[in-house]
């Protein structure tokens, strides 16, 4: 058993063998110019501070042998899985499916849809393609996690108040215990980031727990003996 004592609102304990690191949508389309994030009017540079701590966490998690699952938001080339309201979002001529410097915006198989070089998945690490904001909606993520016996999720990626929040809410309702790592999630809006994290930990941890990644890495490095509650 590992415990992140400094997690809020209470210490967070997890069994590494039944824990997965979830890396949400660290795609060029959200982190680099010319993609979906920028087409919505956002400063994509806001998200880059997550890359270094996430790369360090990923290295430790891989070394500890935890399950690692990556997700990518995007759509089929014919856009048949993209709701009209989502399709019409953003600046005209720079919408989902339109050509951009990294290929067609938010379309599966395009360069911009793929994960940034710094966080490239290793062979064997599942990459879940999702059409929505939540990683459980219209995907096999739940089945994939259950097949591996995963009960706890270390949650990272972008953006804090959109895909991370939606996924944590979905996971919480499915019984997963989520620790969101504050320095490894990012938003285009610093205020939404801060409040988004507060919302997760408020009301006694209504959706989960929040901590910084160095605290989680320290917990992984110093597992304690499990004391089953009576």
Question: Applying CB under 6 A, which residues contact ligand TIU?
Answer: 25, 30, 40, 73, 133, 158-159, 162-163, 188
Contacts of 147 (CB under 8 A, 6+ apart): none
Our CB check for ligand TIU shows the closer of 53 and 134 to be 134
Closer of 7 and 135 to ligand TIU (Cβ): 135
Least distance to ligand TIU from the beta carbon of 39, Å? 10
Toward ligand TIU, which CB reaches closer, 113 or 217? 113
Active-site residue identified among 29, 82, 129, 130:
130
49 contact partners, CB below 8 Å, separation of at least 6: 183, 186
Catalytic, 133? Answer no
* Distance of closest approach, residue 162 Cβ to ligand TIU, in angstroms: 3
Q: Cβ closer to ligand TIU: 70 or 133? A: 133
The distance of closest approach from Cβ of residue 12 to ligand TIU in the complex, given in angstroms and rounded to an integer, is: 23
Residue 123 Cβ vs ligand TIU, minimum distance, rounded to whole Å = 24
Output 41 or 228, the one with its CB closest to ligand TIU.
41
SS (H, E, C) the chain: CEEECCCECCCEEECHHHEEEEEECCEHHHHCCCCHHHHCCCCHHHHHHHHHHHHHHHHHHHHHCCEEEEEEECECCCCCCCCHHHHCCCCCCCCCCCEECCEECCECCCHHHCECHHHCCCCCCCEEEECCCCCCCCCCHHHHHHHCCCCEEEEEEECHHHHHHHHHHHHHHCCCEEEEEEEEEECCCHHHHHHHHHHHHHHHHCCCEEECHHHHHHHHHCCCCCCCCC
| Residue with smallest beta-carbon separation from ligand TIU | 163
Q: At residue 196, what are phi and psi to the nearest 5 degrees? A: -60, -40
Can 130 be counted among the known catalytic residues? yes
Q: State the minimum distance, in angstroms, from the CB of residue 177 to ligand TIU.
A: 22
- Which residue among 82, 163, 178, 184 is the active-site one? 163
Residues known to be catalytic: 25, 130, 163
């Amino acid at each position: 058993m590992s415990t992140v004592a400094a997690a809020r609102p209470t210490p967070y304990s997890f069994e590494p063998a039944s824990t997965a690191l979830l890396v949400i949508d660290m795609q060029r389309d959200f982190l680099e110019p010319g993609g979906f994030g920028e087409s919505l009017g956002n400063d994509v540079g806001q998200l880059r501070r997550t890359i270094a701590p996430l790369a360090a966490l990923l290295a430790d998690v891989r070394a500890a042998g935890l399950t690692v699952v990556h997700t990518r938001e995007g759509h089929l080339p014919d856009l048949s899985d993209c709701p009209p309201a989502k399709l019409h979002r953003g600046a005209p001529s720079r919408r989902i499916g339109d050509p951009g410097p990294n290929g067609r915006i938010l379309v599966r198989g395009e360069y911009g849809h793929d994960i940034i070089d710094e966080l490239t998945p290793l062979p064997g690490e599942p990459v879940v393609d999702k059409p929505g904001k939540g990683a459980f909606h219209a995907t096999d993520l739940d089945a994939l996690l259950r097949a591996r016996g995963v009960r706890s999720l270390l949650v990272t990626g972008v953006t804090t108040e959109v895909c991370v929040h939606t996924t944590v809410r979905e996971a919480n309702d499915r019984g997963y215990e989520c620790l969101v790592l504050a320095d490894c999630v990012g938003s285009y809006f610093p205020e939404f980031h801060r409040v988004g994290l507060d919302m997760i930990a408020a009301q006694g941890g209504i959706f989960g727990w929040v901590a910084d990644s160095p605290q989680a890495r320290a917990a992984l490095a110093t597992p304690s003996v499990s004391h089953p509650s009576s």
